[in-house]
Amino acid sequence: MYIFVPFAESTCGIEQFRCNNGKCIPNKWRCDRESDCADGSDEAPGLCMNVCNHFTFRCDNGEQCLPRSWICDGDPDCRDGSDELECSKQKSYS
């Protein structure tokens, strides 16, 4: 026999993110620019500001994550300038 409790707190696994509404989603879905939580909590600006994923570049100082399109664009966006390092190597191969 199962008892359904409509608003019970859910416990998510170690590889999961718990949405504000209690739903568990895979960690890799958090901050992927697609809302997977019905309440949008997996894409909240404060949560996603410094989260890196396969769409982003992590600055060498580890403090920032930027869109990959900002790498080697002639404008240093990382505080440490690491998004503009070694650009001549990258451009010579493209």
Q: What is the pLDDT of residue 53?
A: 75
C-alpha span between 29 and 90 (Å, rounded) = 29
Give the chain's domains with CATH numbers. Answer: 16-48 (4.10.400.10), 56-93 (4.10.400.10)
State pTM to two decimals: 0.47
Q: What is the pLDDT of residue 2?
A: 45
pLDDT-derived band at 92 (thresholds 50, 70, 90) equals: very low
Read off the pLDDT of residues 49-66 as tens digits, 9 standing for 90 and up: 666 777 788 888 777 788
Strand, coil or helix: what is 17?
strand
* DSSP 8-state code for residue 9: P
Q: What is the pLDDT of residue 23?
A: 92
Q: What is the pLDDT of residue 76?
A: 92
C-alpha span between 62 and 75 (Å, rounded) = 18
Judge whether residue 90 has pLDDT over 70.
no
pLDDT-derived band at 48 (thresholds 50, 70, 90) equals: confident
Q: Are the beta carbons of 52 and 28 closer than 8 angstroms?
A: no
